[in-house]
Amino acid sequence: MTLSPDLVEALERFVALDRVLVATDFDGVLAPLVLDPMDSRPVEGGMPALTSLAALPGTTVALVSGRALGPLGELTGAQDPIVLIGSHGAEDSRAEGGLALDDAQRGLLDTLDTELAALRREHPGMRVEVKPAGRVAHTRGLPQEEADAALAAALELGRRHTSLEVTPGKDVVELAVAHVGKGVALVALAREVGAEAVFYAGDDLTDEHGFAALADDEDTARAERRLTVRVGDGDTLARYRVADEDAMVELLQALLNARRTRAPH
């Protein structure tokens, strides 16, 4: 694949800035979507490029995922100084003690476990992923009719508990008792590190929320300089698009090469 001329121009503008934030989702961006989330593995070249970017001056690198921090770190192999933002922004690898839940939130998680167990008896093919702040119903690999019924049941469960944050995605519904959102987390991190611009790549509905938040950043200059990339097809608010995970690796390598040449000293 060859990057489009307009994307190459955007990269050149981005890498010339003194301080930038480079952030990506994991599943569907650095790693193909698979039936069992714990079988996911990054495609060759993506994580080394991010690791090298994180070592450059004025460059903060973050992985922003719906996954909990533990599995995200395990599957990516990412180490400091790469920042891990998990559970859609509710977890931060730099925060001591991880995620803190109150008694009401812990009680709601217990209720979720009971009700999701009942749903699994009605929809045996549905899988439930346990996260520190929520539970995720997965239907990837099921026949479409069965998957639709299971997801509809999970959404209805979410509607019954109005304090839950309900996040649909590709073959999943996440039910969270504590939720920040990728967009809020991205803008907060950009503000914290003093980034003049943010690169963010994603493939899912939750990433669209991230694209929207970056466009609405109160720092209008940073918002204007954003470099957002949708991986794969589908309607998007991102400014650019690449076809798949392999194309994303090519994009990251181009970003790394250009930043090495133009990064501040």
pLDDT tens digit sequence for 218-261: 999 999 999 999 999 999 999 999 999 999 999 999 999 999 98
Cβ count near 168 (within 10 Å): 16
pLDDT tens digit sequence for 85-139: 998 888 889 887 667 678 898 899 999 999 999 999 999 999 999 988 899 999 9
Q: What is the per-residue pLDDT for 94?
A: 87
Which two tokens mark 213? 């938040």
Cβ count near 233 (within 10 Å): 10
Order across the sheet with 172-176: list the strands: 127-131, 134-138, 172-176, 165-169
Nearest to 90 by CA among 132, 61, 120: 132
Which of 63-67, 101-105, 199-203 is predicted with the least confidence, judged by mean pLDDT? 101-105
Residue with more model confidence, 263 or 17: 17
* Structural domains present in the chain: 5-97+180-262 (3.40.50.1000), 103-176 (3.30.70.1020)
| Residues whose CB is less than 8 angstroms from the CB of residue 107 and which lie 6 or more positions away in sequence, other chains included | none
